[in-house]
């Protein structure tokens, strides 16, 4: 874990650049083109690239050196931003869409490679705690990125914002390159170097076998995609809801919401890490389903128009459940064998990005007719229904397994008594 803390810092710096980049670029596209359609197209290109790159990233992570992939992804994003920064004004509109492809693909590749590498870096026994630290880093980076983007662009301009973005990716790449860490299990490294298990066909076959023998993983991935729908709904509805609460200062509620959400994320990691360390056990599918239900319910309550204190508590609970659910989910997928892990996380990234992108489009259209509460309740309500169904099914299976374990014991006892009686 000694080196992993430095990795978390580097990844957090990179994530800060990504969130700053997200806001600054979206505003820049609109300023350069003067078209809301062009800005929407930029976001669509980035999302479509993120969805498609999940499948490609899974293959790359299974076949190539993960550390080099992460370093290369950060350097590619830095180079793309510097190219845009140094390009003449007339060439910038065309470069923007190339930049959307690069940033969308590279950010997904980094996520898939890092999540797949955590067990090899810290060991299986520490992966839950490591995932929690990554959640904290990204949560803080998101808050700082969103909060500072407006100030950086307004005070320093787009050139300074792009230069700062590029610098964060270069710092992250440098930290990753210098860290003496192993990102793949020893057996998997041998296979990747040319063994039969490292071939594309074998990796694809093992991933399919895993999903067939462990259908719960596929169910969890589907639920994460539906969670993406819910996340998009509250992200799109939040500015409208905030403006309705205080038209003069709409940013006040947004800042309060995300700050409280981040605190909940951090609290969840601290509690989760201590409980996991004390018990030596990691929560499984039932905890994932229950946490997702609580998370979605919390987001719905935030938009229900309650007074400030209950709303803050709901945002805190939603943030804590969000962080808890992500840690449990990622830790569960990391339990898969190393050679299969990359494809699982690639599929997961594509599903999550597809759900989020589809939700952005649908929720934006629905908000033209329905209130923020109605839209958020519909999307998150769907997630609650799926998670509640999964929870009930898991409870039923656990009860059946317990009865099956007890039945042979009950049958053996009379036989043993008769045997003793005969003697």
Q: Are 334 and 127 in contact (CB under 8 A)?
A: yes
Over range 215-231, report the average pLDDT.
Answer: 90
Is there a single domain that holds both residue 18 and residue 59? yes
The pLDDT of residue 112 is: 94
Does any domain span residue 111? yes
- Give the C-alpha separation, 93 to 35, whole Å: 11
pLDDT tens string 117-138: 999 999 888 888 888 889 888 8
Does any domain span residue 225? yes
Is there a single domain that holds both residue 25 and residue 91? yes
pLDDT tens string 346-374: 999 999 999 998 998 898 889 989 999 99
Q: Which of 140, 163, 193 is the last residue of a domain?
A: 193
Is there a single domain that holds both residue 186 and residue 221? no
Does any domain span residue 411? no
Over range 149-170, report the average pLDDT.
Answer: 88
The CA–CA distances, whole Å, from 97 to 44, 94, 103 equal 10, 6, 10
pLDDT, averaged across the chain: 83
Would you say residue 147 has pLDDT above 50? yes
Helix H, strand E, coil C: the string for the chain is CHHHHHHHHHHHHHHHHHHHHHHHHHHHHHHHHCCHHHHHHHHHHHHHHHHHHHHHHHHHHHHCCHHHHHHHHHHHHHHHHHHHHHCCHHHHHHHHHHHHHHHHHHHHHHHHHHHHHHHHHHCHHHHHHHHHHHHHHHHHHHHHHHHHHHHHHHHHCHHHHHHHHHHHHHHHHHHHHHCCCCCCCHHHHHHHCCCHHHCHHHHHHHHHHHHHHCHHHHHHHHHHHHHHHHHHHHHHHHHHHHHHHCCCCHHHHHHHHHHHHHHHHHHHHHHHHHHHHHHCCCCCHHHHHHHHHHHHHHHHHHCCCCCHHHHHHHHHHHHHHHHHHHHHHHHHHCCCCHHHHHHHHHHHHHHHHHHHHHHHHHHHHHCCCCCHHHHHHHHHHHHHHHHHHHHHHHHHHHHHHHHHHHHHHHHHHHHHHHHHHHC
**pLDDT band at residue 419 under the 50/70/90 scheme:** very low
The pLDDT of residue 403 is: 67
Q: Are 228 and 382 in contact (CB under 8 A)?
A: no
The pLDDT of residue 197 is: 41
The pLDDT of residue 194 is: 45
Q: Which of 161, 193, 225 is the last residue of a domain?
A: 193
The pLDDT of residue 37 is: 75
The pLDDT of residue 401 is: 67
Is there a single domain that holds both residue 373 and residue 252? yes
Domain of 237 in residue numbering reads as 215-335+369-406
pLDDT tens string 63-91: 899 999 999 999 999 999 999 888 887 77
- Give the C-alpha separation, 142 to 153, whole Å: 17
The larger pLDDT score, comparing residue 262 to residue 408, is at 262
Would you say residue 413 has pLDDT above 50? no
Is there a single domain that holds both residue 396 and residue 247? yes
Is there a single domain that holds both residue 275 and residue 317? yes
Is there a single domain that holds both residue 87 and residue 148? yes
Does any domain span residue 67? yes
Does any domain span residue 362? no
Indicate if the alpha-carbon torsion angle 321, 323, 327, 329 is positive or negative: positive
Would you say residue 169 has pLDDT above 90? yes
Q: Return the CATH number at 68.
A: 1.20.1250.20
The larger pLDDT score, comparing residue 80 to residue 414, is at 80
Over range 155-181, report the average pLDDT.
Answer: 91
Does any domain span residue 389? yes
Is there a single domain that holds both residue 273 and residue 373? yes
Q: Which residues contact 216 (CB under 8 A, 6 or more apart)?
A: 285
The pLDDT of residue 135 is: 86
Is there a single domain that holds both residue 289 and residue 319? yes
Is there a single domain that holds both residue 219 and residue 182? no
Domain count, the chain: 2
Is there a single domain that holds both residue 316 and residue 382? yes
pLDDT tens string 174-222: 999 999 988 887 655 545 544 434 444 544 544 555 555 467 888 899 9
Does any domain span residue 200? no
Q: Return the CATH number at 384.
A: 1.20.1250
The larger pLDDT score, comparing residue 393 to residue 408, is at 393
Is there a single domain that holds both residue 24 and residue 84? yes
Q: Taking the model in full, what pTM does it have?
A: 0.84
pLDDT tens string 6-32: 999 999 999 998 888 888 887 888 787
Question: Which residue from 168, 151, 157, 59 is spatially nearest to 103, judged by alpha carbons?
Answer: 168
The pLDDT of residue 240 is: 86
Does any domain span residue 323? yes
């Amino acid at each position: 874990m000694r080196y992993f803390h430095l990795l978390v810092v580097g990844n957090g710096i990179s994530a800060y650049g990504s969130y700053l980049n997200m806001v600054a670029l979206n505003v820049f596209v609109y300023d350069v083109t003067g078209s809301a359609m062009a800005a929407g197209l930029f976001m669509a290109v980035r999302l479509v690239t993120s969805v498609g790159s999940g499948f490609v990233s899974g293959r790359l992570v299974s076949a190539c050196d993960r550390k080099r992939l992460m370093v290369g992804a950060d350097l590619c994003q830095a180079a793309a931003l510097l190219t845009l920064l140094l390009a003449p004004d007339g060439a910038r509109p065309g470069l923007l869409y190339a930049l959307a492809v690069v940033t969308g693909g590279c950010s997904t590749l980094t996520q898939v490679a890092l999540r797949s590498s955590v067990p090899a870096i810290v060991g299986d026994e520490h992966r839950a705690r490591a995932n929690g630290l990554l959640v904290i880093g990204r949560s803080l980076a998101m808050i700082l990125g969103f909060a500072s983007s407006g100030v950086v662009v307004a005070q320093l301009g787009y050139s300074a914002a792009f230069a700062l973005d590029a610098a964060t990716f270069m710092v992250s790449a440098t930290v990753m390159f210098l860290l003496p860490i192993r990102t793949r299990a020893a057996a998997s490294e041998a296979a990747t170097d040319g063994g039969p298990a490292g071939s594309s066909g074998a990796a694809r076959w093992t991933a399919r076998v895993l999903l067939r023998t462990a259908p719960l993983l596929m169910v969890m991935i589907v639920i994460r995609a539906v969670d993406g729908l819910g996340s998009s709904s509250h992200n799109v509805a939040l500015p409208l809801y905030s403006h309705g609460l205080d038209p003069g200062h709409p940013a006040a509620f947004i800042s309060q919401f995300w700050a409280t959400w981040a605190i909940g994320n951090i609290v969840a990691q601290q509690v989760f890490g201590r409980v996991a360390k004390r018990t030596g056990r990691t929560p499984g599918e039932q905890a994932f389903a229950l946490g997702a239900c609580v998370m979605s319910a919390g987001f719905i309550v935030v938009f229900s128009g309650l007074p400030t204190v209950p709303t803050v508590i709901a945002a805190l609970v939603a943030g804590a459940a969000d962080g808890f659910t992500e840690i449990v989910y990622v830790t569960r997928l990391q339990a898969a064998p190393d050679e299969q892990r990359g494809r699982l996380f690639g599929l997961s990234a594509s599903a999550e990005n597809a759900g989020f992108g589809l939700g952005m489009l649908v929720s934006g259209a629905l908000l033209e007719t329905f209130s923020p509460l109605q839209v958020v309740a519909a999307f998150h309500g769907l997630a609650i229904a799926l998670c509640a169904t999964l929870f009930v099914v898991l409870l039923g299976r656990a009860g059946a397994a317990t009865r099956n374990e007890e039945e042979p014991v009950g049958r053996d006892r009379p036989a043993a008594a008769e045997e003793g009686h005969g003697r």
